[in-house]
Chain A
């Protein structure tokens, strides 16, 4: 399977714990995006990378959230001191980055439940 992959698919944690999610983009895609989706809503943009550079961050991304893409390949999203409001589906997408018309391909998501 050469699509976007995300791990883990599900994560249950207690409030106050730290969690880390991983995204592996489609090979050779230089852009990688993180979105968050809550029940009954569309995905909301969090941040994106072009290669290893983080180019944009949403105001939704509080200082408890950090994302990295160390070698321009896979990316990690870490949430520190999780809160119940962090419960959501975290989606990763990648694209070739060929201008504004490029297509973002989404992974299956990581579903986070904070108890």
Chain B
């Protein structure tokens, strides 16, 4: 079993819709939770960074962490075609606080 599980999609929604992306994880030592966006043939770009449980909002993006359920989410409001990309959840902590463990990514397409 992978440490981080993420539905690969693809997920296709109309422009303006609210998008919900989710990951589950098994390692209770993870303390830092991230969402990266990756456009085709590009490197990952950090979108959101949260510590422990709770919510964090940045513009149209909201990240939620529920450590008791080992479940994290990213919500995108008023989705735009430019949001079409692969979204990677990521986390770190525990015995190796430096390396990031990534999910496999969810491919998202926003239809105009």
Contact = CB atoms under 8 A, between A and B. Distances in A.
B32 interface: yes
A45 B104 contact: no
B104 A41 contact: yes
Given A100-B31, A100-B32, A105-B46, A42 B99 contact: no
A40 B100 contact: no
Given A33-B99, A42-B90, A100-B31, A106 B104 contact: no
Interface residues of A, number: 27
A106 B8 contact: no
A109 B45 CA distance: 12
A106 B42 CA distance: 9
Contact of B105 (A35, A41, A109): A41
Q: Which 6 A-B pairs have the closest CB atoms?
A: A42-B102, A106-B43, A100-B97, A45-B99, A106-B44, A108-B43
Interface of A: 4, 31, 33, 35, 40-45, 48, 55-56, 58, 91, 93, 99-101, 103-109, 111
